[in-house]
């Protein structure tokens, strides 16, 4: 059994590669960074549209919507003992842009760049941070980014700079170290083995309830399941569906699902002549067994959802009710000139549930005569091919979704301002699939600038309808559920839909 004052988390840590807020990708790192560092604001885990103060006591959006002014608390201290000031906050955000690592991308999408960062992100005084937007956008989006993105963590500038090498702004050091003000400090990290976080006693909110958080690398779901039921792990993340299902009936464990803003989808490349034909895409839409997949495969992985905008936002339209309809699909295929189907390939991550969705899809495609072979691989291989626009079908997962805003989803899945190969808009899945609709693009651009919420929502609804009628290249099937299994002994754990789960209030019997 685990000690009372420690939280032991079992998870697969293979994708935990870097802790640098400027460059760390992946979901796993969000939960770590959220506890090592503080953000300026936090989103309410129960209602994402509620923004709570964190390091920033309050904030103001300029009436023209072109700047944000945040006022920081005066009592926050870094784990090094230094007082946290607006200069640290400004430097942290500027650093992200200057380094231009992976996490710079949301900021770049607002028009920030390494060149304008120092001018637009400024510490007005020790407690005031002003962020000026380079181009019109919805300032709420920026606020959400400040509350959810790893890149918004506030770093201890002096400590980081003391480890700077060759002007890297401490990037090398921060890969494996942390210098924050969060409730926990990084004590030890053995990659792919264990990570120990110890309580920072002078935390400004008051010390966390548990003395230590231990993350342990347990790559095999079944092993995790045994460990949970034997009480050797308090919290298991990333388990396989069947094991979660089994633990649901285990008296010693609680299953806690959290809906994330990301979707499981089937994407086709419209560079491919077959899929450029709308009828083929429509046929494909009718060849997915949404019900079957969501019932047989997706429990604990996701909930049925067929729209590009995530569930729970005001702008989200109800599901259009797509269904498996082989005869209709066959008819469409025949119209498109493929009465006997065709051959194609499905690229897919070899992890569940993606590989399972792909297998199920393969089965239903076959019913319409489409012979699809599956090529499974690592994320790197699958998304690499997608970025190079070299694929026919990908079964994947994505769609922004950290910020609770339709724009985040649409930007990730639908938006494609420049469809030329040379544009290399590899960060937009719209570009990757070569889906390009002037009208949708225009609406998305307009909506994010619209200051009136009702008009904005109406525009987003219109986008969704257009996407439905134009038969977009990416067909969402489910919205992702992140299911953790908790030991009954653990209390106060609230999984965060943006993955920034705070552990400071977690305690155990």
Partner 1 sequence: MKAFWARAGTMRTRLLSTLATLCGLLVLTFFIGRVMPIDPVLSIVGPDADASTYQQAAARLGLDQPLWMQFGRYLGELAHGNLGTSLLTGNAVSADIARVFPATVELATLAIVLGVLAGVPLGVWAASRRGRLVDHVVRVISLAGHSTPVFWFAMMGLLVFYAWLGWAGGSGRIALMYDGAIPSVTGLLLIDTLLAGNWDAFANSVKHILLPACILGLHSMAYISRMTRSFMLAQLSQEYILTARVKGLSEAAVIWRHAFRNILVQLLTIVALAYGGLLEGAVLIETVFAWPGFGQYLTNSLLLGDMNSVMGCVLLVGVIFVTLNLVSDALYQVFDPRMH
Partner 2 sequence: MTAAPKPDAAPATPPSPRAAGPATAGSALRESLRRALRHLLLNPMTLAGLIVILLLIAVACFAPWIATHDPLRQDLAATLQAPGAAHWFGTDEYGRDTFSRLVYGARTTLYIVGLVTIVVGPVGLAVGATSGYFGGWVDTLFMRITDIFISFPSLVLALAFVAALGPGLEHAVIAIALTAWPPIARLARAETRTLRKADFVAAVQLQGASPLRILVRHIAPLCLSSVLVRLTMNMAGIILTAAGLGFLGLGAQPPSAEWGAMISAGRRYMMECWWLVAMPGAAIMVVSLAFNLLGDGLRDVFDPRS
CA dist., res. 62 & res. 467, Å (int): 33
207 interacts with, out of partner 1, partner 2, none, CB within 5 to 8 A per kind: none
CA angle 14, 20, 26 (to 5 degrees): 40
Provide the minimum distance between the beta carbon of 48 and partner 1 in the complex, in angstroms, as a whole number.
20
Judged by CB, which is closer to partner 2: 263, or 375? 375
Q: What separation in angstroms does the CA of 106 have from each of 43, 142, 235, 403, 427?
A: 17, 9, 31, 10, 10
Judged by CB, which is closer to partner 2: 69, or 350? 350
482 interacts with, out of partner 1, partner 2, none, CB within 5 to 8 A per kind: none
Partners of 61 in the beta sheet?
68
Provide the minimum distance between the beta carbon of 51 and partner 1 in the complex, in angstroms, as a whole number.
24
CA dist., res. 263 & res. 308, Å (int): 8
Provide the minimum distance between the beta carbon of 329 and partner 2 in the complex, in angstroms, as a whole number.
16
CA quadruple 213, 216, 220, 225: dihedral sign? negative
Judged by CB, which is closer to partner 1: 6, or 256? 6
The three-class DSSP label of residue 125 is: strand
18 interacts with, out of partner 2, partner 1, none, CB within 5 to 8 A per kind: partner 1
CA dist., res. 16 & res. 12, Å (int): 9
Token reading at 25: 């990708």
Which residues sit at the interface with partner 1, rule CB under 8 A? 2-3, 6, 8, 10, 14, 17-18, 23, 25-26, 100-102, 104-105, 108, 172, 175-176, 187-188, 190-194, 196, 214, 216-220, 222-224, 226-227, 229-230, 232, 378-381, 383-384, 386-387, 398, 412, 424-427
Provide the minimum distance between the beta carbon of 284 and partner 2 in the complex, in angstroms, as a whole number.
17
Provide the minimum distance between the beta carbon of 62 and partner 1 in the complex, in angstroms, as a whole number.
28
CA dist., res. 319 & res. 311, Å (int): 10
100 interacts with, out of partner 2, partner 1, none, CB within 5 to 8 A per kind: partner 1
Could you say which DSSP state residue 448 is in?
H
Beta strands 194-199 and 302-304: pairing type? Answer: unpaired
Picking from 159, 409, 361, the residue whose alpha carbon sits closest to that of residue 261 is 409
Provide the minimum distance between the beta carbon of 83 and partner 1 in the complex, in angstroms, as a whole number.
29
Judged by CB, which is closer to partner 1: 373, or 380? 380
241 interacts with, out of partner 1, partner 2, none, CB within 5 to 8 A per kind: partner 2
Which residues sit at the interface with partner 2, rule CB under 8 A? 221-222, 225, 240-243, 245-246, 289, 291-293, 295-297, 350-352, 355-356, 358-360, 362-364, 366, 373-377, 381
Judged by CB, which is closer to partner 2: 144, or 290? 290
Helix axes 326-335, 278-285, angle to 10 degrees: 170
CA angle 366, 371, 374 (to 5 degrees): 105
Judged by CB, which is closer to partner 1: 27, or 306? 27
- Is residue 217 within 8 A of residue 12, CB to CB? The reply is yes
104 interacts with, out of partner 2, partner 1, none, CB within 5 to 8 A per kind: partner 1
Provide the minimum distance between the beta carbon of 288 and partner 2 in the complex, in angstroms, as a whole number.
12
CA dist., res. 306 & res. 284, Å (int): 14
Judged by CB, which is closer to partner 1: 241, or 396? 396
Beta strands 235-237 and 6-11: pairing type? Answer: parallel
Judged by CB, which is closer to partner 2: 295, or 420? 295
CA quadruple 137, 138, 143, 149: dihedral sign? negative
Provide the minimum distance between the beta carbon of 249 and partner 2 in the complex, in angstroms, as a whole number.
10
Provide the minimum distance between the beta carbon of 507 and partner 1 in the complex, in angstroms, as a whole number.
18
CA dist., res. 23 & res. 104, Å (int): 8
219 interacts with, out of partner 2, partner 1, none, CB within 5 to 8 A per kind: partner 1
Picking from 264, 192, 182, 243, the residue whose alpha carbon sits closest to that of residue 484 is 243
Provide the minimum distance between the beta carbon of 220 and partner 1 in the complex, in angstroms, as a whole number.
5
258 interacts with, out of partner 1, partner 2, none, CB within 5 to 8 A per kind: none
- Is residue 228 within 8 A of residue 485, CB to CB? The reply is yes
- Is residue 500 within 8 A of residue 148, CB to CB? The reply is yes
Judged by CB, which is closer to partner 2: 160, or 224? 224
Judged by CB, which is closer to partner 1: 100, or 457? 100
- Is residue 373 within 8 A of residue 342, CB to CB? The reply is no
Judged by CB, which is closer to partner 2: 166, or 373? 373
295 interacts with, out of partner 2, partner 1, none, CB within 5 to 8 A per kind: partner 2
CA dist., res. 174 & res. 21, Å (int): 8
363 interacts with, out of partner 1, partner 2, none, CB within 5 to 8 A per kind: partner 2
297 interacts with, out of partner 2, partner 1, none, CB within 5 to 8 A per kind: partner 2
């Amino acid at each position: 059994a685990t000690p009372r004052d420690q939280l032991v988390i079992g998870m697969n840590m293979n994708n935990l590669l870097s802790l640098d807020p400027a460059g760390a990708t992946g979901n796993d790192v969000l939960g770590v960074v959220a506890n090592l560092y503080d953000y300026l604001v936090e989103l309410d885990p129960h209602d994402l549209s509620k923004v709570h103060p964190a390091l920033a006591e309050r904030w103001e959006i300029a009436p023209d919507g072109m700047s944000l002014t945040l006022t920081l608390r005066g009592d926050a201290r870094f784990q090094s003992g230094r007082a946290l000031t607006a200069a640290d906050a400004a430097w942290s955000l500027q650093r992200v842009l200057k380094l231009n690592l992976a996490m710079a991308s949301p900021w770049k999408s607002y028009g920030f760049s390494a060149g304008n960062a120092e001018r637009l992100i400024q510490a007005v005084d020790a407690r005031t941070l002003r962020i000026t937007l380079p181009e019109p956008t919805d300032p709420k989006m920026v606020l959400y980014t400040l509350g959810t993105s790893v890149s918004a963590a506030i770093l201890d500038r002096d400590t980081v700079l003391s480890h700077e090498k060759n002007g890297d702004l401490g990037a090398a050091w921060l890969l494996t170290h942390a210098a924050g003000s969060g409730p926990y400090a990084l004590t030890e990290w053995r990659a792919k083995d264990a990570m120990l976080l110890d309580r920072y006693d002078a935390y400004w909110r008051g010390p966390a309830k548990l003395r230590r958080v231990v993350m342990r690398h347990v790559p095999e779901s079944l092993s995790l399941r045994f460990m949970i039921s034997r009480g050797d792990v308090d919290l298991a993340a990333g388990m396989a569906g069947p094991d979660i299902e089994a633990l649901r009936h285990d008296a010693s464990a609680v299953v806690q699902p959290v809906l994330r803003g990301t979707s499981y989808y089937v994407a086709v490349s419209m560079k491919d002549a077959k899929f450029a034909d709308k009828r083929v895409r429509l046929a494909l839409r009718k060849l997915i067994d949404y019900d079957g997949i969501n019932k047989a495969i997706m429990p604990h992985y996701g909930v049925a959802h067929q729209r590009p905008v995530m569930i729970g936002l005001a702008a989200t339209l109800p599901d259009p009710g797509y269904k498996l309809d082989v005869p209709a699909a066959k008819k469409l295929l025949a119209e498109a000139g493929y009465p006997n189907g065709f051959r194609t390939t499905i690229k897919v991550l070899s992890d569940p549930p993606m590989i399972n969705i792909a297998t199920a899809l393969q089965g239903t495609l076959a019913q319409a005569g489409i012979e699809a072979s599956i090529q499974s691989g690592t994320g790197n291989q699958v998304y690499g091919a997608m970025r190079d626009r070299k694929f026919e079908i990908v079964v994947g997962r994505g769609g922004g979704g950290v910020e609770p805003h339709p724009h985040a989803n649409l930007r990730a899945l639908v938006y494609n301002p420049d469809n030329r190969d040379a544009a290399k808009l590899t960060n937009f899945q719209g570009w990757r699939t070569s889906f390009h609709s002037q009208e949708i693009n225009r609406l998305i651009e307009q909506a994010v600038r619209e200051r009136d919420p009702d008009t904005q929502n109406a525009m987003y609804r219109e986008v969704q309808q257009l996407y439905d009628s134009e038969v977009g290249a990416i067909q969402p099937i489910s919205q992702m559920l992140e299911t953790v299994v908790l030991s009954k002994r653990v209390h106060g754990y609230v999984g965060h839909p943006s993955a920034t789960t705070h552990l400071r209030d977690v305690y155990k019997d």
